[in-house]
Amino acid sequence: MEILDPALQAYLDSHCDPEPEALQQINRETYLKVLKPHMLSGHYQGRLLSMLSKMIQPKLILEIGTYTGYSAVCLAEGLAEEGVLHTIEANSELEEMLNSHFKSTNVDKKIRLHIGPAEAVMADLELNNIDIVFIDADKRNNFRYFELILDKVRPGGLIIIDNVLWKGKVFGNHNDADTVNIRKLNERIAVNTQVEKLILPVRDGILIIRKK
């Protein structure tokens, strides 16, 4: 998943805030118990998400794709006192682990876990004036999720999309279906005049979008 030189990434990891103990435990359990543990946000990206959230002090966050809960905890660290994070996970087999992970943190009371298909859950929630959206789910539907939530994000709010460099394949000569799909996502958002946008080369590429 890393596109940076490992030595550079190690340097970056060592010069940001340390990984909180509860997140260290989530990291360990993910690698021990779950398939594809590389999908975890991890220490450096987690600190980025936490810092962005703390800068905005959001009242409402929506996360699409919970996985084992690491990114949800990071984002919840910046919530306003009465803030809430809604996170959606399609895989019901992760529900017990997720509840356990959230309870091990000091932000568990601010997190609302929803199990089911993202689009159906989003329709039921009917959220508006969202401060931050983090999209890290099934990649083929990324642009669909972006379209669904754009009008529900407040002006000045953020939409963050993970894996937009796709192991560097988006700027190479790769034309498999996943790469083409992510390349189209990046191109569509690049020309969208409703938002400001910036891709950061963090892990597998993270797209920061600010609604005007």
Q: What is the pLDDT of residues 8-64, one digit of tens each?
A: 989 999 999 999 999 999 999 999 999 888 888 999 999 999 999 999 999 999 999
Estimate to the nearest angstrom the gap between the alpha carbon of 54 and the chain centroid. 15
User: pLDDT per residue over 75-112, tens digit each?
Assistant: 999 999 999 999 999 999 999 999 999 999 999 999 99
Would you say the C-alpha torsion 146, 209, 156, 212 has a positive or negative sign? Answer: negative
What gap in Å lies between CA 192 and CA 147, rounded to an integer?
Answer: 11
Domain boundaries, the chain: 6-211
Pairing of strands 153-162, 130-135: parallel
Answer whether 0.85 is exceeded by the pTM: yes
CATH superfamily of 6-211: Vaccinia Virus protein VP39 (3.40.50.150)
